[in-house]
């Protein structure tokens, strides 16, 4: 959408989410063949050269079939179409997961290694999937001729995943992929040793919380998130569904995965003994305005030491084009202001819609000032106290 006519002060903080390797002017990703799709050099040349928005929609379609319809086989060609539109670490990771669930272990390993080489985050999740793929490598789950090698690789990636802080280490014990191995002496030895030396003293919940928070880059205050900031900061580090317990919006009212919106790590605002304050973003991949911008929104959330939500507040952007537009400003003392605006379109959206419509002005609605209290709650204050 066009930037509203209001512009708050020039951005004082630049929060970067760098692509793992720069955009390429190489080959058209649509030309990637079945063999080239797993060739890292070809993939790197194709990265950044496709239709990112179309790829995001195709990826969401594949995720819906894979996660909600639970048809891994049907989702696989759609994941590949998304990759041919615009290769991304997440598309390769999700493709690798679907191939794994469909029993196509060799191809799953190839897709997961591409995701790893492209810098998919969080990496412990990739290590877990690689461990699972090698654990059940072969037709029908039977041991292939080189089973000692694949078992060794499975144990290796299990050890790496746990040491990196994989948030669900109990899945190595209980997961279907590891049934053949988890009674072996070598499995138990590696598992116990890795867990004893892993993150958060082997507590699965704390490990999950720690790996989640590690992905948030620290923020530098003061910070203002307005239209200019949003348009100038590309969201790339998406949050995996493995962390949906920390992002309630990832599930809709029917308790299925919401694939319409993608969620992204944004900033670690404050880490206090009593709470952790995080800023994460969401983006609707199915809505676009006349400028081909999609609704983007931001939540400020505080969590206790176990990752349970203390308080949550939408603070910037908008979840859809009919919602109130919000602008967020936070000072070094963690006082912050949320300003609400109503966007007025050139044409009646009820008649014309939004695809070819423009914002001509933004009318101020309200200004609310807050501070983060010692217990992590957001308390309303008067403006002079909040911003001084």
Does a structural domain hold residue 227? yes
Does a structural domain hold residue 131? yes
CATH number at 62 reads 1.25.40.10
| Calpha distance 46→129 (Å, rounded) | 25
pLDDT of 182: 66
Same domain, 342 and 223: yes
pLDDT of 84: 93
Token output for 81: 């179409």
Does a structural domain hold residue 17? no
Same domain, 177 and 260: no
Burial class (CB in 10 A: 0-12, 13-18, 19+), 50: buried
Does a structural domain hold residue 88? yes
pLDDT of 276: 97
Does a structural domain hold residue 196? no
DSSP assigned state of 11: P
Residues 6+ apart with CB under 8 A from 287: 294, 295, 320, 321, 354
Same domain, 238 and 367: yes
pLDDT of 31: 77
pLDDT of 202: 53
Same domain, 126 and 185: yes
Distances in Å between the alpha carbon of 286 and those of 56, 57, 64, 215, 299?
9, 6, 13, 26, 20
Domain count for the chain? 2
Confirm if 158 and 136 have CB atoms less than 8 A apart: no
Token output for 108: 């799953």
Does a structural domain hold residue 5? no
Does a structural domain hold residue 47? yes
Same domain, 225 and 76: no
Does a structural domain hold residue 145? yes
Chain centroid, CA 30 distance in Å: 25
Confirm if 115 and 97 have CB atoms less than 8 A apart: no
In order, the DSSP letters of 37-63 are GG-HHHHHHHTTSS-HHHHHHHHHHHH
Same domain, 140 and 227: no
Whether cis (ω within 30° of 0) applies to the bond prior to 222 is yes
What pLDDT tens digit does each residue of the chain (388 aa) get? 444 433 333 333 333 333 333 344 467 777 788 889 999 999 999 887 778 888 988 999 999 999 989 999 999 999 999 999 999 999 999 999 999 999 999 999 999 999 999 999 889 999 999 999 988 764 344 444 444 455 688 889 999 998 888 878 888 887 777 877 766 778 888 888 887 765 544 566 777 888 889 889 999 999 999 989 998 888 888 898 888 889 988 877 556 677 778 899 999 999 999 999 999 999 987 777 767 778 899 999 999 999 999 999 999 999 888 889 999 999 999 999 999 998 887 777 777 777 777 777 888 999 999 999 999 999 999 855 444 4
Confirm if 269 and 294 have CB atoms less than 8 A apart: no
Q: What b/e string do you get for 160-198 counting C-beta neighbours within 10 Å, with b at 16 or more? A: bbbbbbbbbbebbeebebbebbbeeeebeebbeebbeeb
Same domain, 182 and 248: no
Same domain, 277 and 336: yes
Same domain, 139 and 279: no
Distances in Å between the alpha carbon of 181 and those of 133, 137, 142, 208?
12, 12, 12, 24
- Alpha-carbon dihedral 27, 31, 37, 39, rounded to 10 degrees: -40
Please choose, from the candidates 176, 128, 174, 124, the residue with its C-alpha nearest in 3D space to the C-alpha of residue 155: 128
Work out whether strand 359-372 and strand 378-381 pair parallel, antiparallel, or are unpaired: antiparallel
Question: Domain range spanning residue 278?
Answer: 217-387
pLDDT of 378: 97
Kindly report the pTM of this predicted structure: 0.73
Same domain, 316 and 357: yes
């Amino acid at each position: 959408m066009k930037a509203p006519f209001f512009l708050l002060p020039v951005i004082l903080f630049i929060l970067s989410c760098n692509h793992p390797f720069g955009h390429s002017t190489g080959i058209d990703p649509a030309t990637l063949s079945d063999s080239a799709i797993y060739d890292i050099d070809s993939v790197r040349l194709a990265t950044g050269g496709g239709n990112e928005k179309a790829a995001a929609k195709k990826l969401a379609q594949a995720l819906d079939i894979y996660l909600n319809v639970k048809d891994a086989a049907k989702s696989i060609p759609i994941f590949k179409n998304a990759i041919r539109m615009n290769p991304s670490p997440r598309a390769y990771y999700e493709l690798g997961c679907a191939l794994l669930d469909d029993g196509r272990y060799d191809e799953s390993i190839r897709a997961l290694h591409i995701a790893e080489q492209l810098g998919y985050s969080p990496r412990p999740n990739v290590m877990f999937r690689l461990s699972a793929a090698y654990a059940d490598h072969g037709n029908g789950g039977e041991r292939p001729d080189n089973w000692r090698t694949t078992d060794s690789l499975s144990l290796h990636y299990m050890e790496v995943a746990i040491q990196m802080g994989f948030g669900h280490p109990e899945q190595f014990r209980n997961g279907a992929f590891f049934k053949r191995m988890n009674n072996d002496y070598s499995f138990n030895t590696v598992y116990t040793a890795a867990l004893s030396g892993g993150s958060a003293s082997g507590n699965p919940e704390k490990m999950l919380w720690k790996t989640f928070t590690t992905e948030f880059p620290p923020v530098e205050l003061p910070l203002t998130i307005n239209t200019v900031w949003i348009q100038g900061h590309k969201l790339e580090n998406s949050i995996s569904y493995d962390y949906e317990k920390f992002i309630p919006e990832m599930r809709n009212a029917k308790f299925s995965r919401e694939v319409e919106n993608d969620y992204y790590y944004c900033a670690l605002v404050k880490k206090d003994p009593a709470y952790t304050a995080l800023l994460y973003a969401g983006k609707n991949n199915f809505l676009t305005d006349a400028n081909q911008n999609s609704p983007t929104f931001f939540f400020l959330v505080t969590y206790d030491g176990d990752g349970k939500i203390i308080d949550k507040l939408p603070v910037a952007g908008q979840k859809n084009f009919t919602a109130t537009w919000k602008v967020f400003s936070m000072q070094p003392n963690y006082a912050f202001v949320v300003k609400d605006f109503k966007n007025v379109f050139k044409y009646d959206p009820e008649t014309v819609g939004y695809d070819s419509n423009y914002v001509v002005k933004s009318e101020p609605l309200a200004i609310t000032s807050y501070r983060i209290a010692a217990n992590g709650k957001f308390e309303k204050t008067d403006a002079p106290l909040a911003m001084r």
